[in-house]
Amino acid sequence: MAPAGQEEECVSGAQVIAEALKVQNIEYMFGIVGVPVIEVAVAAQASGIKYIGMRNEQAAAYAASAVGYLTGRPGVCLVVSGPGLIHALGGMANANMNCWPLIVIGGSSDRNQETMGAFQEFPQVEACRLYSKFSARPSSLEDIPAVIEKAVRNSIYGRPGACYLDIPGDFVNMQVKKSSVKYIECCSAPPISMAEVAAVSRAASFIAHSRKPLLIIGKGAAYAHAENSIRKLVDQCGLPFLPTPMGKGVVPDNHPYCVAAARSRALQGADVIILLGARLNWILHFGLPPRFRSDVKIIQVDICAEELGNNVKPAAALLGDVKAVTEQLFDQLNKMSWKYPSSAEWWKELRAKMKSNEEASKALSLRKHLPMNYYQVFHHVRELLPKDCILVSEGANTMDIGRTMLPNYHPRHRLDAGTFGTMGVGLGFAVAAAMVTKDRNPEQRVVCIEGDSAFGFSGMEVETICRYHLPIVIIVVNNNGIYSGLDQDTWKEILKLGEPFVCIPPVSLLPNAHYEQIMSAFGGKGYFVQTPEELQAALKTSLAGKDVPSLINVMIDPQSDRKQQDFHWLTRSNM
């Protein structure tokens, strides 16, 4: 209560939102402002939350979700009503499929205009329920802190995901007595759950009796910060392991027990597979033949009970935190004094296949003639990249070949199209990674490697990167198309045939497009590269320029493709 004769202090809805987020230890907000949420962004900045203005709501949502993955605390995506919120749905869906924490806050129509055809009126709470774990609108300004706490808690507890908070336009500037707002204590990190002892014992028995064991490390293990526990399990039990794309680096890719170079053979031959925070979805071919043995025994470790038994009934289902359950497994195997013999025939088979595949990739990467292929590009990039850089990658061949050619040595240092296979995530992810490293490890570099098609989805975020002086290095591997393109001469001949809308192949993009000029236009450094020497020089200069963003546009053979695979990455051929 204010003293007699003195008017009690009031706060606006925007200030309540900002303070409630701050209490929940939210550090980053990404968005595009307009009516009615401008004041929310201003209040967030006043409270100490870092606000990053993006150029597209999808990119803002991608960035906020990547912050959730990298820090374990959700980033916030702030959007306007109607179309603004709809644009953010792609990022919400991607966060849910990736199991990354995200909070989306959307402005909406004033309450007294509902059902009247208000400006950008849309059933936002209902629409977001398809794309989130939790979707709600506070009933009053006083209710905002409780709803925000619940959204943050839902985003990080159990299987992480997206949550939506709807803010009526009239709430933003509405005033309420400061004393009437009660902020909810910050929700703590999720409680650690452990698997049933009997299930752990059963799993350890299967592992100890296996002839061809395989450990698969998923991004759930990276998110759980299980790297030390998993490294101990791998080292002391001698287990061959295979990382999923964003599970790379939980145990370094150069570890002698990593069998990523024999991926198909490892999946096909293993008789016991331990899944640590990985799902048997399309990335792992659903766990089904012919990619897997029909009699394979699956040991599944997951935080989500509903995931256990999806597609394949596990021989042992271990429900719990990946880090804690890995410790349980290790302790049980240690009691049994079990270690997989390095002389086993399985190791000989895997190492022979690894050597064969590595030699095939090396032959492609050391090819001399121009234009370059993917393997040449990644060979030279690999030679110069800092070992601790965060790699962001998207695009079809660019992402898939880069996954095999560019090693990761640390967990949570690779961000890509993920479970949802989403194109357009790259620059948003890179912005998020650069913000996090700027605060936690300023010397760390962020390198974003994109296909030319993937870059086109969110290329204007280059302006965002330059505006905030984020020293991101973008490498566009440019093959003039989607999957494959046309060289300049073939392009000209096709145009002579007649109407371009009929003659230009759907996968083709403009040949020799100068994407580097987009970076130059906003004050960064742009490089047009056609030879290995030019690539090396541009990348060295870019990595040395710690205060200036750069974009290296690398021209490659439009028909460059990956080496022959035993299996396509996707179930069906992508073209």
3-state SS of 141-152 is HHHHHHHHHHHH
Instruction: State CA 180 to chain mean position distance.
Output: 40
> Is the CB of residue 73 less than 8 Å from the CB of residue 131?
no
Q: CB of 277 within 8 A of CB of 219?
A: yes
Residue 497: the pLDDT is 87
DSSP assignments along 238-261, one per residue: T--EEE-GGGTTSS-TTSTTB-GG
For helices 374-384 and 345-365, what crossing angle results, to 10°? 100
Quick one: pLDDT at residue 425? 97
Phi-psi sector, 373: left (phi>0), alpha (psi -120 to 50), beta: beta
Is residue 159 within 8 Å of 304, Cβ to Cβ?
Answer: yes
Domain 10-180 has CATH 3.40.50.970: yes
Q: At what angle do helices 57-71 and 426-440 cross, to 10 degrees?
A: 40
Rounded Cα distance, 60 and 58, in Å: 5
- DSSP 8-state assignment for residue 184: P
Task: Give the strand order in the sheet containing 134-136.
Answer: 50-53, 28-31, 75-79, 102-108, 162-168, 134-136
Cα(532)–Cα(539) distance, integer angstroms: 11
Report the SS3 class of residue 444.
Answer: coil
Helix 13-23 / helix 144-156 crossing angle, nearest 10 deg: 40
pLDDT of residue 569: 43
- How is the beta sheet containing 390-394 ordered, strand by strand? 414-415, 390-394, 446-451, 473-478, 550-555, 525-529
- b/e per residue, 71-80, with b = 16+ CB within 10 A? bbbbbbbbbb
Straight-line distance from the first to the last Cα atom of the chain, in angstroms, rounded to the nearest whole number: 70
Q: What is the pLDDT of residue 2?
A: 59
Q: Rounded distance, CA 3 to CA 20, Å?
A: 26
Residue 35: closest CA among 93, 89, 91, 82:
82
| DSSP type of residue 462 | H
Does residue 331 contact residue 308 with C-beta atoms inside 8 Å? no
- Convert 89-101 to b/e letters by CB count within 10 Å (16 or more is b): bbbbbbbbbbbbb
Every domain range in the chain assigned CATH 3.40.50.1220: 197-351
Residues of the chain with CATH 3.40.50.970: 10-180, 367-555
Confidence at residue 212, expressed as pLDDT on a 0 to 100 scale: 98
> What is the CATH code of the structural domain delimited by 197-351?
3.40.50.1220
Beta-bridge partners for 105: 78, 165
**Coil/strand/helix, residue 417:** coil
Nearest Cα neighbor of 409 from 232, 222, 252 is: 252
Helices (H) and strands (E) in the chain, counts: 22, 21
Structure tokens at 281: 């979805």
pLDDT at 119: 79
Query: Candidates 2.40.110.20, 3.40.50.970, 3.30.70.1230, 3.40.462.20; correct CATH number of 367-555?
Result: 3.40.50.970
To the nearest 10 degrees (0 to 180), the angle between helices 374-384 and 532-544 is: 30
- pLDDT tens per residue, range 34-83: 999 999 999 999 999 999 999 999 999 999 999 999 999 999 999 999 99
- DSSP 8-state symbol, 283: G
Fill in the DSSP letter of residue 140.
Answer: S
Q: What is the pTM of this model?
A: 0.95
Q: Is the dihedral of CA 323, 280, 67, 411 positive or negative?
A: positive
For residue 516, the tally of other CB atoms under 10 A from its CB is: 23
Could you list the mean pLDDT of each consecutive 10-residue stretch along the chain, which spans 575 residues? 72 98 98 96 98 98 98 98 96 98 95 82 94 97 98 97 97 96 96 97 98 98 98 98 98 98 97 98 96 97 96 97 98 97 96 95 89 96 97 95 96 96 96 97 96 97 98 97 93 87 92 97 98 97 94 95 52 40
Query: Do 435 and 470 meet the contact criterion of CB atoms below 8 Å apart?
Result: yes
Q: How far is the C-alpha of 274 from the C-alpha of 403, rounded, in Å?
A: 22
Nearest to 27 by CA among 376, 464, 432: 432
Question: Bridge-partner residues for 162, per DSSP?
Answer: 102
